[in-house]
Structure 1
């Protein structure tokens, strides 16, 4: 809190953090409750196809996004001292209305806040035997309190500690659970069913062909790196010299975290019959480690670490959301003279109340609920950010605006009305269409100019 004296230091710090620290912070932010608590449930239900979707295609999407975008995004951000993605959009395209559109669009991140709150509350009920709604309030109050005080510094320092704990627990769980494969990974999965062991699961409604497993996983994860709590980490860096260490740390630590998906296999191979997909990790851990004092001690540390995994993303989203509402909505619409730091803290309280209301009676599969909103944000963001970084010449505003609208509208129409049950598939089609619209717009603008 002593180091958080302005809305800039609250939002991105004072550019005095080591790139390794920022890399661990980012890896922990990307690999949140989704990776550690919710996504292993998809592997438990759908098998190898879900593992390849999240673990392989997703990891390649993350790597590609950072290799392609980091340097150019930092260059534009440095030139204008941007604090948020909508502000970066404003400086790149010089249009306040477009940045406002993005600021309101980024409020879709609230769906991910709900996922994390629900996932963490399930863990607290497993750890303390509390009622789920009491656990929900406890998680909310705890995380919101420390972010309220310290902003980015609270987020980065806690994330580093959380990240190190997450590495240790991931390695421990992967090693101790490997015996469930019985020395024959393919054979063990095939014994469950041939569909379960297939790269494309014909009996799955989510991961059944090349597009739903690999293409959508890669495309959507690439686009997800445009989320406000992820790409803005690049702005924490001191200079372009830090990029290699930062990207290397992020990708290396993130690859370790992806191994948590194996818990879905372990739970299935252990013969556990789990009705609620979102509780697979909790039930597996209780099965594996309950029954002895040593096991209970290990279980406690693991549960606390999984809570840390959720909090490490939640605090990042909260910092970016509150900074964005103040910088990109309140200041342009209300007044430049407002106390930005105080308002950013009040915004946090508002986000907490809305998040709690949405999480109070969560939908049956919280992962799909969160994906609808966050993937929509990704589908709208990807072309404006990618074109803003890679296309050096003037990009007409109408081109990027039409691309953004195409991405999010097609995703929502396919997912909500046309029966595409996997949000990654609907978002991937939205992103592909968005790039097609953007590419044709650039060609037309270039031809028209000549």
Structure 2
């Protein structure tokens, strides 16, 4: 009885606190600009925690440990090491230039930034439409959160799905970016606490030594390149694709636009430093994949590894039940911390970069942004109702396609100050998008990170050659 009272009391307190923070956010949201990127009055430390929580999400805390459980050290190196280096490199390389142009042109979204950089509405519309691929990640988060809810409440998954959807969408509808930032800070602090607790709690599984313990599963499981894996079997599939695709993923609308929240370039160092420190702590949660495997659990569904491990480790005593409740609430918060960011960026993007240019009406932007959220919610719920068996790979197919298309326009747009021929940049973006889908769906490349990385490399090579040819023909065009 005490456990049940604590469970519902904790959940109730969390819900009330989130809605209170959203109400504060709503009071500060007066127009589509405030809804999209705030009013430039947030601390860089708060923005850094918000970003780290957005990057970590349900994928890191709930879905990706399942890949480590199934594929071993190679999967950990892919997500935990190569991925972390990709994140750091992207923000060190792109933050300053992206913020500079965003400030100059008052850009609100990635497609808006693309429009101001390349001065072509058709290209920005293309980017706005392909950014809708982010909805595959919405589906992943909804499914992951619903699986967690069934672990602590006696409800069906589909019921949990609706509850998660209504809760997150309602508080984002209220406060936009401020609700996202304030709630993410709270959720980020909870995530840090739970990460440290779970990391320390499972260390006893390595009493015989890290590599020795992994070798008890199999020699391949303990190798950097797992010859028995169909996803992580070579240097490129583990390190190359992990670095490239994570770098590219930082160009997603709900991630890179965090740079536009900053007041000025002086805040960039504090922002990146906070993101790196908090993000590094979050990556420790991936160790649960090893712990679950070494504990001897036989888990049929890879997507449920975290849930089953936690139920196995924290059961029996009242203290365990209370701890489990707090952990599950925090893991739910990880999904919501990313979902609310995606929702804010998607709704702002649809209104600012699709509806407004096509209808020519800016006066109802804030109202439109909220209606778009409702539409996104209906679509997300429909796709999540009967999800594919490996939801992680499903989400990666869509989001990695967006990432593959984004690299050349944003990377070249930031690093090269002069004129960039639109034909070359746009063609490279299309190559990145289509080649990823072809390789993954028809070309036999099962790992979406590998197919997207091949597509990114080829699109970059195409862009470099195209720009070189253009410069030979008209040297003045690429000068600052």
TM-score class, shorter-chain normalisation, is over 0.9
Please give the residue correspondences for 1:206-285 in structure 2 after superposition, counting only pairs within 5 Å: 206-285=231-310
Please give the residue correspondences for 1:6-25 in structure 2 after superposition, counting only pairs within 5 Å: 6-25=31-50
TM-score by length of 2: 0.93
Aligned with 2:211 (options 186, 199, 207): 186
**Corresponding residue of 2:27:** 2
Specify whether residues 393 and 260 from structure 1 end up closer, same or farther in structure 2 by C-alpha distance, changes over 3 A only.
same
How far residue 202 of structure 1 moved from its aligned partner, in angstroms, is 0.2
**Corresponding residue of 1:449:** 474
Q: Is structure 2 residue 169 aligned with structure 1 residue 144?
A: yes
How far residue 36 of structure 1 moved from its aligned partner, in angstroms, is 0.1
Q: Is structure 2 residue 79 aligned with structure 1 residue 27?
A: no
Q: Is structure 2 residue 328 aligned with structure 1 residue 291?
A: no
**Corresponding residue of 1:200:** 225
Q: Distance in 2 between matches of 1:375 and 1:129?
A: 35
Q: Distance in 1 between matches of 2:168 and 2:56?
A: 17
**Corresponding residue of 1:365:** 390
TM-score by length of 1: 0.99
Aligned with 1:302 (options 314, 327, 331): 327
**Corresponding residue of 1:391:** 416
Q: Alpha-carbon deviations, 1:299-341, whole Å to 9, x = none?
A: 0000000000000000000000000000000000112244000
**Corresponding residue of 2:430:** 405
Q: Is structure 2 residue 375 aligned with structure 1 residue 350?
A: yes
Q: Is the 8 A contact 1:188 1:269 kept in 2?
A: yes
- SS in structure 2 at match of 1:31: helix
Gapped runs of 5+ residues in structure 2? Answer: 1-25, 476-480
Aligned with 2:160 (options 135, 150, 153): 135
Q: Alpha-carbon deviations, 1:141-173, whole Å to 9, x = none?
A: 000000000000000000000000000000000
Q: Is structure 2 residue 107 aligned with structure 1 residue 82?
A: yes
Q: Distance in 2 between matches of 1:383 and 1:335?
A: 29
Q: Is structure 2 residue 112 aligned with structure 1 residue 91?
A: no
How far residue 402 of structure 1 moved from its aligned partner, in angstroms, is 0.7
Q: Distance in 2 between matches of 1:25 and 1:333?
A: 32
- SS in structure 2 at match of 1:77: helix
- SS in structure 2 at match of 1:204: coil
Q: Is the 8 A contact 1:375 1:424 kept in 2?
A: yes
Q: Distance in 1 between matches of 2:368 and 2:288?
A: 42
> C-alpha root-mean-square deviation of aligned residues, in Å?
0.6
Aligned residues: 450
How far residue 181 of structure 1 moved from its aligned partner, in angstroms, is 1.2
Q: Alpha-carbon deviations, 1:18-49, whole Å to 9, x = none?
A: 00000000000000000000000000000000
**Corresponding residue of 1:318:** 343
Q: Distance in 2 between matches of 1:194 and 1:183?
A: 15
User: Following superposition, which runs of at least 4 residues in structure 1 exceed 4 angstroms of deviation?
Assistant: none
**Corresponding residue of 2:365:** 340
Q: Is the 8 A contact 1:49 1:200 kept in 2?
A: yes
Q: Alpha-carbon deviations, 1:113-134, whole Å to 9, x = none?
A: 0000000000000010210000
Please give the residue correspondences for 1:26-175 in structure 2 after superposition, counting only pairs within 5 Å: 26-175=51-200
Q: Alpha-carbon deviations, 1:70-95, whole Å to 9, x = none?
A: 00000000000000000000000000
Q: Distance in 1 between matches of 2:112 and 2:344?
A: 15
- SS in structure 2 at match of 1:32: helix
Q: Distance in 2 between matches of 1:165 and 1:305?
A: 6
Q: Is the 8 A contact 1:331 1:338 kept in 2?
A: no
Q: Distance in 1 between matches of 2:331 and 2:221?
A: 26
Q: Is the 8 A contact 1:229 1:316 kept in 2?
A: yes
Q: Is the 8 A contact 1:43 1:264 kept in 2?
A: yes
- SS in structure 2 at match of 1:394: coil
